Structure formats: C-alpha cells, structure tokens
C-alpha cells in the first residue's frame, strides 16, 4: 500500500460521486431557465452523467486498497472514451451560450471534429507507447494532437469571437469567461501526457491519474456551474425582455 495510490483510489470515488450529483443538479436546474437557455443545463447534465458512468467503471476496476499496481494497470482507453464523448459537449456549450449552433453549424462541426481528432491522436500516442514501446512515435502523435488542440483554440478565439461580437453583452461576457476557463484548464492534460513520456516511473503514472481525476472534476463540474450561471443570467435578461413586451 502507498499513500499516493490510496489518495488516488479515493479520488476516483469522490470524482464519480460528485459527477453523478452534479448531473442530477444540472438536469433539475434546467427547468428553472428560460426555454431558449435550457440546452446549457441539458448538455452539462450529459457530460457529467457520461463521465460519472465511466468513473463508476474505473472505480470498480481499481482495488481501492492503495495498491499502486491496480492504478497503473487501469486500461487507458476508459479515459479516452470519456474525453471523446464529453469534450465535444463542453465545446458545444460555447456555441449554445451564444445561441450560435444553428446559425454557425459548420463552425461548430469544425470545432467538434478538431476536438475528436485531438483526443484520437492522443490515444494513438498512448497505444504506440504501451503496445509497441515506441516513444518516438508517441511524441509524433503528441505533436499532432497538440496541433489539433491549437487549431481548436483558434476556432474558439477567432471566428467564434466574431459571432460573440454580434450578441448582447450578457452572452458575450459568458462566452469570454467560458473560453478563458478552457484555455487555462485544458493544457494540464497535454502537460501530464508529456511528463509521463519524459519520466517513465510508476510514481508518475499514479500521480498522473490523480491529476486527471482532479482536472476532470474541475473541467466538468466547474465548467457546468459556469455555463449554468451564464444561462441563468441570459435567462433573466430574456425573461425581463419578455415581460416588457
């Protein structure tokens, strides 16, 4: 037994429970919003529910007894299955908050494709190392995945900002907060990936799982709260506008 592995074990459980509770909260809260703002709550409930389920699977696979072996043996594909489903939904929330997913459908599709490509290339990088022990190939996939990540950030910062400029202040502010959250919180994932490639030790592997757990919690529950509060602000504005008419 080791302390780091024990904390990591517990964190799997804490993350799963918090995600499940958050998902119930987001879905119940959506009904308190104006009809055109409800998708924000629906989507936040979806990505937290999907992740809670994946965490339930992962929690049942690790021993829960602080044994680092079982944390290290956790199949990586669970993380990637979670991310490939949930990160596009997170990206979509930015379009939803600007009510731009219909008007700028091709831009939304581009952002989602870039996101999925980023996750898929990262997975191939993991596979090249784990299955073939090919560190160089893993770096090539890492670089390609980082390129997709940069392109995604460009889409969120440039063309989407032009859409935001045509929107009321309340939506614009929410969009700025949400894209700021993404650009600050997402880079931890490639950093963890690179550290694990540079320092191949069991300690680092366990620590990486712990950091992924905490980051997933912040990026799903924290981001969900942010987008729900944005939807609530927009909702208040549209309800007061409706009352004036």
Q: Which residues of the shown chain bind ligand RET in the complex (CB under 6 A)? A: 83, 86-87, 90, 118-119, 122, 125, 142, 145-146, 149, 186, 189-190, 193, 216, 219-220
Report yes or no: 91 and 115 within 8 Å, Cβ to Cβ: yes
* Cβ 37 to ligand RET shortest distance, Å: 22
CB of 65 to ligand RET, least distance (A): 26
If the CB atoms of residues 120 and 170 are measured against ligand RET, the closer one turns out to be 120
DSSP string, 184-214: HHTTHHHHHHHHHHHS--HHHHHHHHHHHHH
**Of residues 80 and 175, the one with the C-beta less far from ligand RET:** 80
Q: Which is nearer to ligand RET, 134 or 233 (CB)?
A: 134
Cα Rg for the chain, rounded, in angstroms? 19
Would you tell me the crossing angle of helices 38-61 and 77-97 to the nearest 10 degrees?
A: 170
Which of 194, 99, 101 is CA-nearest to residue 143?
A: 194
Taking the C-alpha atoms of 33, 214, 194 and 129 in order, what is their torsion angle to the nearest 10 degrees? -100
Report how far Cα 3 is from the mean position of its chain's Cα atoms. 27
Least Å distance, CB 83 to ligand RET, is 5
- Of 44 and 234, which has the nearer Cβ to ligand RET? 44
Query: 């942010």: which residue's tokens?
Result: 226
Q: Using the minimum distance from each CB to ligand RET, give the nearer residue, 37 or 114.
A: 114
Helix (H, G, I), strand (E, B) or coil at 33: coil
Q: In this chain, which residue has its C-beta nearest to ligand RET?
A: 122
Rounded-to-integer distance, Cα 64 and Cα 242, Å: 53
Sign, CA torsion 150/153/159/165: negative
Which of 219, 235, 245 is CA-nearest to residue 83?
Answer: 219
Beta carbon of residue 219, minimum distance to ligand RET (angstroms, whole number):
4
Minimum CB separation of residue 126 from ligand RET in Å reads: 8
Give me the least distance between CB of 189 and ligand RET, in Å please: 3
Residue 161 Cβ vs ligand RET, minimum distance, rounded to whole Å: 20
**CA nearest neighbour of 95 among 34, 164, 144, 47:** 164
Closer to ligand RET by CB, 27 or 124: give it.
124
Nearer to ligand RET, 28 or 214 (CB): 214
Collect all residues with Cβ–Cβ distance below 8 Å to 29 and sequence separation of at least 6: 41, 228
């Amino acid at each position: 037994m080791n302390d780091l592995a024990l904390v990591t074990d517990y964190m799997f459980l804490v993350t799963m429970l918090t995600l499940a509770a958050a998902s119930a909260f987001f879905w119940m809260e959506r009904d308190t919003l104006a009809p055109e703002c409800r998708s924000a709550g629906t989507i936040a409930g979806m990505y937290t529910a999907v992740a809670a389920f994946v965490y339930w699977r992962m929690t049942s696979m690790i021993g829960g007894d602080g044994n680092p072996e079982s944390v290290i043996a956790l199949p990586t594909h669970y993380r990637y299955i979670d991310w490939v489903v949930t990160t596009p939904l997170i990206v979509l929330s930015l379009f939803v908050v600007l009510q731009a997913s219909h008007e700028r459908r091709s831009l939304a599709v581009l952002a989602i494709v870039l996101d999925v490509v980023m996750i898929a290339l990262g997975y191939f990088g993991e596979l090249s190392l784990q299955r073939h022990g090919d560190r160089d190939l893993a770096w090539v996939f890492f670089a390609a995945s980082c390129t997709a990540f940069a392109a995604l950030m460009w889409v969120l910062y440039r063309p989407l900002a032009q859409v935001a400029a045509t929107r009321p202040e309340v939506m614009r502010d929410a969009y700025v907060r949400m894209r700021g959250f993404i650009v600050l919180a997402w880079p931890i994932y490639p950093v963890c990936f690179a550290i694990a490639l540079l320092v191949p030790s069991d300690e680092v592997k366990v620590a990486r799982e712990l950091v992924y757990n905490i980051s997933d919690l912040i990026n799903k529950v924290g981001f969900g709260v942010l987008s729900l509060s944005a939807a609530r602000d927009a909702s208040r504005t549209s309800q007061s506008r409706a009352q004036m008419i």
